[in-house]
């Protein structure tokens, strides 16, 4: 692939300081993620999967090493700078949708733009377009409570897309959904991949990982396996 790297991790480590003990969660990761790729990050609990997700999502900072997102090393950025990075370069999709209950569909989709100082009046059409893209063009003024789980996750996907991020970062995006809705959401992600968007999905679900073109397996804070795959022949779930 000739496309540029969206993400570069260089000897990235994270150690939690619990006062008396130092708990290493990530012990030095090195990998790149290319623009337009679809990557699944897998691993058993305790493997450092969540820590990596938080760092990739700029919610947390590594203890050492470099994390280049786009052109910038975000490892040493301030809280305010990270907020800006999150709002402009990352599109989050959570397991439990995490929509704001008091806001309607369009307002929820607009939220990342709101924090970039972009007024909803000017961006209403753009937000509505995002809602249509995920098939919710007729639900613009519904509250999250009035939507099904699948629909809520679609809103979350639209919200993640609204600021044209460098990467979509999904955390168990189908964890709260039944199997038919799961397929629905995964199809949406496939569709986004085909459009050329960069996707990183953190999951423990093989069905989800199967859709990705690359699977990175973590074990004890290190990359255990990094494989490109097009078929279903990789089935080596590391033991705890």
For the bound state, the minimum distance from the C-beta of residue 32 to another protein, rounded and expressed in Å, comes to: 24
**CB of 75 or CB of 215, closer to another protein:** 75
**CB of 101 or CB of 239, closer to another protein:** 101
User: What residues pair up with 25 in beta bridges, in sequence order?
Assistant: none
For the bound state, the minimum distance from the C-beta of residue 96 to another protein, rounded and expressed in Å, comes to: 9
The string over 56-72, giving b where at least 16 C-beta atoms fall within 10 Å of a residue's C-beta and e elsewhere, is bbbebbbbebebbbbee
| Distance (Å) of CA 25 to CA 31, 117, 121, 227 | 17, 36, 44, 22
Binding stretches for another protein (CB under 8 A): 54, 57, 59-60, 79-80, 83-84, 86-88, 92, 94, 98, 100-103, 111-112, 114-117, 119-121, 159, 163
**What letter does residue 209 receive in the DSSP assignment?**
H
Tell me the H-state helices in 42-178.
49-56, 79-89, 105-114, 120-133, 149-161
**CB of 14 or CB of 219, closer to another protein:** 14
**CB of 143 or CB of 229, closer to another protein:** 143
Contact of 42 with 218, CB cutoff 8 Å: yes
**Token digits of residue 157:** 């996907």
For the bound state, the minimum distance from the C-beta of residue 51 to another protein, rounded and expressed in Å, comes to: 9
**CB of 85 or CB of 128, closer to another protein:** 85
For the bound state, the minimum distance from the C-beta of residue 111 to another protein, rounded and expressed in Å, comes to: 5
For the bound state, the minimum distance from the C-beta of residue 151 to another protein, rounded and expressed in Å, comes to: 18
């Amino acid at each position: 692939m000739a496309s540029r790297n969206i993400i570069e991790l260089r000897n990235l480590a994270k150690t939690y300081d619990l006062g008396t003990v130092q708990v290493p969660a990530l012990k030095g990761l090195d990998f790149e993620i290319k623009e337009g790729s679809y990557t699944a990050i897998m691993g058993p609990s305790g493997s450092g999967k969540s820590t990596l997700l938080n760092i990739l999502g700029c919610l947390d900072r590594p203890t050492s090493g470099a994390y280049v997102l786009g052109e910038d090393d975000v490892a040493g950025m301030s809280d305010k700078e990270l907020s800006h990075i999150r709002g402009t370069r990352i599109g989050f999709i959570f397991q439990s949708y995490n929509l704001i209950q008091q806001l309607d569909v369009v307002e929820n989709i607009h939220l990342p733009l709101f924090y970039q100082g972009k007024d909803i009046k000017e961006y209403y059409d753009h937000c509505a377009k995002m809602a249509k893209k995920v098939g919710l063009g007729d639900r613009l003024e519904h509250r999250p409570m009035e939507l099904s789980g699948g629909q809520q996750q679609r809103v979350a996907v639209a919200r993640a897309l609204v600021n044209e991020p460098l990467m979509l970062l999904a955390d168990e995006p189908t964890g709260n959904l039944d199997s038919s809705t799961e397929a629905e959401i995964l199809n949406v992600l496939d569709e986004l991949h085909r459009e050329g968007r960069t996707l990183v999905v953190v999951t423990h679900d093989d069905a989800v990982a199967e859709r990705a073109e690359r699977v990175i397996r973590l074990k004890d804070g290190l990359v255990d396996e990094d494989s490109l795959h097009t078929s279903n022949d990789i089935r080596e779930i590391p033991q705890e």
